[in-house]
Amino acid sequence: MQFIQDNLMTIGVALMALYMLIWPGISRKLAGIKEVGALEATQLVNHHDAMVLDVREDREVAEGKIPHAKHIPLGQLSSRLHELEKFKGKPVVISCRSGQRSLSACKVLRKNGFEQVYNLAGGIIAWQQANMPMEKR
């Protein structure tokens, strides 16, 4: 008991760090969002006619994007959902720089009736590290 009292701050910080590491995975599971790597994303596109949605900003996309990806910045997604209606019944792989904004986009799509939503784990960074193709605008 004395140890806990002497190290309360350290224990609190450790518990907070653990929470921050675990919560994103739990949140994705609760929201019904699956994560896929670059290879799985490619298989979804090639074999299941998945659409890739890039939610990065214009300046980021100008540096390169996944071939044939549709670009809608995250900040515009809610107002441009009508552009995605024809993909509601198909798998949608969502990408951003690192996988965080795309997670938010996944939640928006799920709330609007898209059932097959996949977050690209690690985003474009992981895509490039896997030596997957990129295209310039």
Catalytically active residues, by annotation: 96
Rounded CA-CA distance 26/40 in Å is 21
Look up residue 25 and give its two tokens. 């995975």
Asked if 77 contacts 105 with a C-beta cutoff of 8 angstroms, the reply is yes
Which residues are bridge partners to 53 per DSSP?
Answer: 70, 94
Element (H, E) at 107: helix 100-111
Quick check: helix, strand or coil at residue 94?
strand
Rounded CA-CA distance 37/132 in Å is 11
Phi and psi dihedrals of 120, rounded to 5?
Answer: -75, 105
